[in-house]
């Protein structure tokens, strides 16, 4: 009798998910910009009742990708802005698309060459001090290490679908290709498609996160832990165990996935 009971339980779980989606509809993702006919009690139902159902089922709709690669650069900066900007921190979190858990981390600091001396403004904004970038590999060397890490993690296997995720389009649309062009370096194809988390959040929640991660965390009732603008958190003002921008992005993605959101590529082909 065990097998029939398990089958029945699976069918009932699928039925609960289907009914929850029909009942909650578009209110499932509406903490801001909600039509007036959507009451507070309805929104609470969407946030709590459905979340409880999902937790009970210990599952969520499968994503289109095996892995999400969360990336958040830090770069040289000043007021007024210096040109060209150069990447000084290169972090990537490998997020399992089925469990939405972090499986691996890549992190390196990068030696700037055009403006090798960090400005006080840059250190204040990023928490990165001069000693952290002095003597570090060049961008070309770091990109080679990224490729090695991607291969080691099985991400270059043509049967494995992965995509980068950024908080905005700046990292992979402006910063990396711009610096590579300046230095005469090629841009790997895997950097040419990504998911802008701000766009994904706006699709799911119905409003644009003007203040980026802070607004997204607030909209999902998540606590922002760690120092904003630090890629992995190993900076002057934070310790390695604290959450950072990349981990906040991963946490937001996990929360949206548990609520039934399916992530799709938002960048346009190069």
60 domain-assigned: no
CB 32 within 8 A of CB 219: yes
The pLDDT score that the predictor gives to residue 220 is 98
Average pLDDT over residues 99-128: 95
238 domain-assigned: yes
Instruction: State the Cα angle at 55 between 53 and 58, rounded to 5°.
Output: 110
Q: How many domains does the chain have?
A: 1
218 domain-assigned: yes
Q: Which of 86, 89, 153, 229 is catalytic?
A: 229
Average pLDDT over residues 142-151: 98
Higher-confidence residue of 229 and 121: namely 121
User: How do the residues of the chain divide into helix, strand and coil, expressed in percent and rounded to 5?
Assistant: 45, 10, 45
pLDDT in tens, 47-70: 444 444 444 345 678 999 999 999
- Check if 229 is active-site: yes
Average pLDDT over residues 77-82: 95
265 domain-assigned: no
Q: Which of 27, 48, 74, 86 is catalytic?
A: 74
The pLDDT score that the predictor gives to residue 228 is 58
10 domain-assigned: no
**Domain limits for position 250:** 67-259
* Matching residue, tokens 């998911």: 195
37 domain-assigned: no
125 domain-assigned: yes
Mean pLDDT computed over every residue of the chain? 81
Q: Does residue 8 have a pLDDT over 60?
A: no
Residue 178's domain is classified under what CATH number?
3.30.420.10
pTM of the model: 0.77
4 domain-assigned: no
- pLDDT bucket at 139, cuts 50 / 70 / 90: very high
């Amino acid at each position: 009798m065990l097998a029939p009971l398990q089958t029945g339980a699976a069918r009932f779980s699928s039925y609960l998910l289907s009914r929850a989606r029909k009942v909650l509809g578009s209110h499932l993702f509406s903490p801001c910009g909600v039509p007036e006919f959507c009451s507070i009690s309805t929104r609470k139902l969407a946030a709590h009742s459905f979340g409880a159902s999902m937790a009970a089922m210990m599952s969520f709709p499968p994503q289109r990708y095996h892995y999400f690669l969360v990336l958040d650069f830090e770069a040289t900066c000043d007021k007024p802005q210096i040109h060209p900007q150069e990447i000084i921190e290169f972090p990537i979190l490998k997020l399992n698309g089925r469990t939405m858990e972090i499986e691996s981390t890549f992190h390196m600091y990068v030696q700037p060459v055009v403006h090798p001396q960090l400005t006080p403004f840059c250190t204040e904004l990023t928490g990165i001090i001069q000693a952290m970038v002095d003597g570090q590999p060049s961008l070309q060397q770091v990109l080679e290490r990224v490729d090695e890490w991607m291969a080691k993690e099985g991400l270059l296997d043509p049967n494995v679908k992965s995509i980068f995720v950024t908080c905005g389009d700046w990292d992979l649309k402006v910063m990396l290709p711009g610096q590579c062009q300046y230095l005469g370096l090629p841009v790997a194809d895997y950097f040419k498609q990504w998911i802008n988390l701000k766009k994904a959040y706006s699709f799911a929640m119905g409003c644009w996160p003007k203040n980026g991660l802070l607004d997204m965390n607030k909209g999902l009732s998540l606590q922002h832990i760690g120092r904003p603008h630090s890629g992995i958190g190993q900076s002057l003002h934070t310790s390695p165990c604290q959450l950072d921008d990349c981990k906040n992005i991963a946490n937001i993605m996990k929360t949206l996935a548990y609520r039934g959101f399916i992530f799709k590529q938002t960048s346009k082909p190069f």
